[in-house]
Structure 1
Amino acid sequence: MRMIKRLFKLLLLLFVLAIVAGGIYVWITIDDAPTITTAQLKEKANPEGEQIYIKSADIPQRYRQAVVSTEDATFETNNGINSDGVKALIESNIKAAFGQGVGRGGSSITQQLVKLTAFKNDAEPTPKRKIQELYLAYHLNQVYPKNQIFEFYVNKIYEGYNRYGAETISQFYYQKPLKALSLDQQATIAGLGQSPAIYNLYTNPSTVKERRNIVLLSMFNNGEISESQYTQATKTDIQHGLVKPN
């Protein structure tokens, strides 16, 4: 019995020391986090890329609904962090530690903005970078209103063809401003940034159509569009209104 008590006390001590060590590591990591300025949030990831900057007031509500429904359904109310994504990250990393897959989790729109701004050159999300990303996303949410954060994000996304931002790729593909696009076209633009090399309207229209329909389904499931709007939009030719390249 005495041996069991000693073992239990030792395990408890190790547990407490692990928590303290973890807390110190997180504190040091956060203290070492980079500073993000407004200028950095507005700038392109690649200085040589093309960007037509769109202000928050000119971003169509339907496009915003498409992006939020697909990428971060809690964006309008969260604190900059996708809690479900953090849970998925922890669970997947535990599995990865035992050789079951690769650790990953869903990021909020604010977290993605942080990655595109402060960690754009980091190939792998190390524990240090992930902690700093979460801290900076929370911090940005305290400093900027949601409309401003969304504005930064939609102008920062790489959309292919060395173009950054939703307005830029809208002008490229359709020769129209984002606000002039139809529901199906805005849903198409909303889905491109996840993988612009794959979601290319000229070379992979069928793949883009699948992605567009996922965006539309997310909008329908979130109550942003009606069933008839969803059905009509998914039936529309994916290259509807597309301007052929010169």
Structure 2
Amino acid sequence: MQQSTQRAERVDAQRNRLKVLETADRLFGERGTTVSLGEIATAAGVGAGTVYRHFPTKDALLATVLDQRLVQLGEYGAEMLGRDDIETAFFDYLEFLTGQSLANRAICEALAARGDWQEPSKLNGRCVIDSPLSTLLERAQRAGAVRSDVDAQDVRALLSGCVGMAQSLESPERVRRLSAILWEGLRAERNTESRNETQLPIKARNETLVTKRNCPVCGDPLPDTATGRPAKYCSAACRQKAFREKRKTA
């Protein structure tokens, strides 16, 4: 009888712990890390002592919630590593991380702090975000899909920028649009020689080329005139001399 009672108490304790974790995950996601343990206990329908019995501090509860969330991110990264389309896998992972930061404020704040990028998860000891991100980036660069002058640290900085936008901007759609612009900047430039582009012929301008002329009397270059019309003679003396020659000929 005593064993049955103890077994029931353990089942009840596990149920309460799960209820606290689910409630904390929801409240942290909606309101961030400012939620108190008392608010979580009330929302979960348990006493404050129950929460403190499983999680003595809010940091311990938050760490457990974040571990579970980060494991989900790592699992998605592992799924992307198994894809054949290397380029799509890399950019899908970036979009997934951005979407998670928009949907969960606790994840957003944790990623902004960047401690969970490189610290191993407490559940499996692996860098659940940084490891698949670095591998996906290297594969995409080898395939020529991502520019070669960026590294994993640069990509993390861009992700932190997206997280910062998610924290400061009220419009998720605007954050997604601006994030998409950032990710497009990571793509490698395509070979322009292979583009199906037709070079348009350059049309000749309808202009009359003006060539320099010399005076028919003395041979000196003719000066430019204010009207734009070319002069016939270089000076009045040459004009008179030409006129006299015409009269003699006549």
Which TM-score applies when normalising by structure 1? 0.21
Structure with greater contact order relative to length (CA < 8 Å, sep ≥ 6): 1
Larger Cα Rg: Structure 1 or Structure 2? 2
